Structure 1
Amino acid sequence: MSRLYGLAGLALVAALLVGLGWLGGVSHEQGNAAQVARDQLAKAFEQGQELGTVRDRIVTQYVDRVQVIKERGATLIKEVPVYVSAKADAACTVNAGFVRLHDAAAKSLPAPDPAGDADAAPSGVALSAVAATTAENYTTCNANAERLSNLQTLLLEYQERAYGGQAPP
């Protein structure tokens, strides 16, 4: 009987040791998982800080460049009377067909119906107005091109920081 008690005690001690070992292993793994989570959070925070810095730099460059483009466009528009005089306005009639075609192109619409006699008539739009409108349109186009270029630069820098020069998955 005492042997039975001894074996039962030994089994109890063994079960306690196994249980304590298991609890110790679980605790160790939970600690490792918590450390990995803290490391990931710190890395994500650092990347966020870097991306914010990149974004601020790109936006500042964009705003500066677009401002220069708009100022140049405004200067060109102011200079239209110097390059297209009142005499040139009077000498050149802008026909209705040109105006219809220009407006369709500016709005990315299909070509208007085939030109007819009505399209040959003067439109009442002065040549100087055509020059000013064209300068304004090109200014807007150049500002949009600058915006696209800066967005592409921002995206490439984000990818560089996020993927370390590797192609994204």
Structure 2
Amino acid sequence: MSPKISVWISNSVFISFIVISLFYSLVHFENSYLKSETQTLTTEKNRSFAIVQELSRVKNQFPIAYQCHYSFGLSNGSLFEITERIPYSIYKRLRLGDTIEVYKKEIRIFGKQTAISQIRGNEEPLPLLENLERYFLYGFIYLLVLAGVSLPIRVLGLLSRTYPSQQKPVETGETVVNKVQD
């Protein structure tokens, strides 16, 4: 591999490392914000009502899991829909069209106005950005290892470059004449 190619590859790895680091830090801070907001979600000032739209059982999962899809109004008058995982004890009490008590809170995530909510009495954890954060963490670690490997390659590539000599060629005093034969 020529030195130019190894330097080009290591530069690409470092740029990718910087980009994935920025994405990971953004997702990590948003997930931390979401965790802090969900801890303060179950206060009385966040209590509201919602209407059950759909009840379903999650297939191919053990233990058996259930979902409840419900909607509620936001402060700007729009309707917001949430799908939440619920235990069997709540699932067997609910019917389509029922009004249920929920805790809701309007927040901004990635600059977009949204809402988080939880059915009153539901102890299931809310789905946060943990999978996305884990994905970027693995990418961060992978590119950190690649950057660690490519750093010596880059240094060796820069050291092994051959540069034209800065010295002038030594003159021997001989004059070279083109010999032309007729």
TM-score by length of 2: 0.29
Q: Which has the higher helix share?
A: 1
Q: Name whichever structure is richer in strand by fraction.
A: 2
TM-score by length of 1: 0.31
Larger Rg: 1
